[in-house]
Amino acid sequence: MDGKAFLGDVQMLVDSESLEMINEITEKPVEQGQEVAEHVRRLPTTISLSGVIAGEEASERFEKLQEYRDEAEVISFVGRQVLDDLVIQSFSPTEDNQILDGFRFTIVLKQIRRAEVRREEIAIPEVAPEVAEEADKGRDVAQDAEELDDMDDGRRRSVARKIWDGVSEGELRNLISDTLEGDE
């Protein structure tokens, strides 16, 4: 290959490609002997490129590479290696007096794994009437507690005595309602 490569839509002359493939290995110490490896996790592949972009379109290519980096665009690289699903981790252009109409560069690309989003409808089962009635009682009790908080101490004790004495739920609601209306 003559060193020509493409990063997304940008053509470049690549002097070197350095591929890095790493596994993270979790190790635990043991009393005697070597540590025990308990888990291996593949880390994202990275590739470092260095080369030159020159010619009439060098400034447009420079801007396109900046756009890829700024927008975190997922791109492909085709050179000696061919990799998809890459993002620019770092872009380091260097301008010097040896290249008048372009620049040298170093780019580090990281391969990403994309998560797939799925949407599924889940049927919610109908609630049995007796279960719904019990749930409503819980809401009613919470509402009654809020109303009790609004009463002064003497009236609250009066309502509490009635509850203790076994007043029915309906009578208790009427009592709380009457007590609150008396506050107005």
H-helix segments, 31-128: 58-70
* 9-19 confidence digits (pLDDT tens): 999 999 999 99
- List the single range of 17-21, 37-41, 107-111 with lowest mean pLDDT: 37-41
The pLDDT of residue 140 is above 70: no
The reply to whether CATH 3.40.50.1000 applies to domain 4-111 is: no
Burial string for 101-125 (b: 16+ CB within 10 Å, else e) reads ebbbbebbbbbeeeeeeeeeeeeee
Q: Which residue has the higher pLDDT, 79 or 146?
A: 79
The pLDDT of residue 1 is above 50: no
The pLDDT of residue 106 is above 50: yes
| Residue 139 neighbours by CB distance under 10 Å | 9
- Ordered by start, the domain boundaries in the chain are 4-111, 129-183
